[in-house]
Amino acid sequence: MLQLSEIWVYPVKSLGGISLQESKVTDRGLELDRRWLLVDDDGRFLSQREHPELALFKSEIVGDFLKITHRILLEFIQIPLRSVFSDGVTKIEVTVWDDTIEAYEVNQVVTDWFSRLLGFSARLVYMSDESERKLDPDYAITGAENNSFSDAYPFLIIGQSSLDDLNGRLENKVPINRFRPNFVFTNGAAFEEDTWREFSIGNVPFVGVKPCDRCIMTTVDQEKGVVSGKDPLKTLAKYRNFGNKVLFGQNVIGLGLGTVSVGDEIRVLSHNKK
């Protein structure tokens, strides 16, 4: 039986993730996943690709707050999970790759905190429920699907067997957090998630739309906030290179709402045509 073994959310894009036992599936990803974003003065998104030190910010949910703690400096700040923005709050346009999205700056205190610890200007913004970010129409199912601040798709799933296969080829094993999945599952064959089209986790339906292209971010040590070498990307490129893209994990769209829990059965209903 295919079984959901891990659930991850990343409330602030490119900061540390949070491991959960269960999570609500919303119309744009898991609840709280990538609803906040750090941007520069031009509104362009910041990520570990250019700033691996972002990994040093650990995230956790404490009551009604998102608590962000710097792993080395041990300074922290708390942000309300249910942010309410009035007309007086700064509304700006931000960019994630080619998408322009409306967002709200959380507040100047939070912006000053991140900017001071990082040593460069970094504004924290929030995506409200009113903000829309449609999926690439080439991969959308209905055309009405929304996304959060994730790179391109609401969910990412990776099989534990796929990671085990990779680690069997590496001199130094890497944890799953190098790949920032939302879902990890056990008892499947290595890379079988590449073939999934329609599947369910518990009672919630999903559809696999596109294998995930991997980048230099996989080389960032998530505990130390530094690039740790050329692996695992170099090794993956030797056997997971398709059309000059290194693939690992499957991008996923949700087809319904509900709750998923660690231990849920995963049922594969159809496969992608080759």
- Tokens 């999205």, located at residue: 101
Angle made by CA atoms 107, 112, 113, in degrees to the nearest 5: 100
For 33-73, the pLDDT digits (tens) are 999 999 999 999 999 999 999 999 999 999 999 999 999 99
Instruction: Output the DSSP codes for 22-56.
Output: EEEEEBTEETTTT-EEEE-TTSBBP-TTT-GGGGG
DSSP run (H or E) holding 163: helix 160-167
83 Rama class: left (phi>0) / alpha (psi -120 to 50) / beta: beta
- Give residues with Cβ within 8 angstroms of 142, minimum separation 6: none
Regions of the chain where pLDDT drops below 50: none
pLDDT on residue 86: 55
Question: What's the confidence (pLDDT) of residue 91?
Answer: 86
pLDDT at residue number 85? 59
Residue ranges of domains in the chain, CATH in brackets = 2-29+136-268 (2.40.33.20), 34-126 (no CATH)
Distance CA 107, CA 198 (A): 41
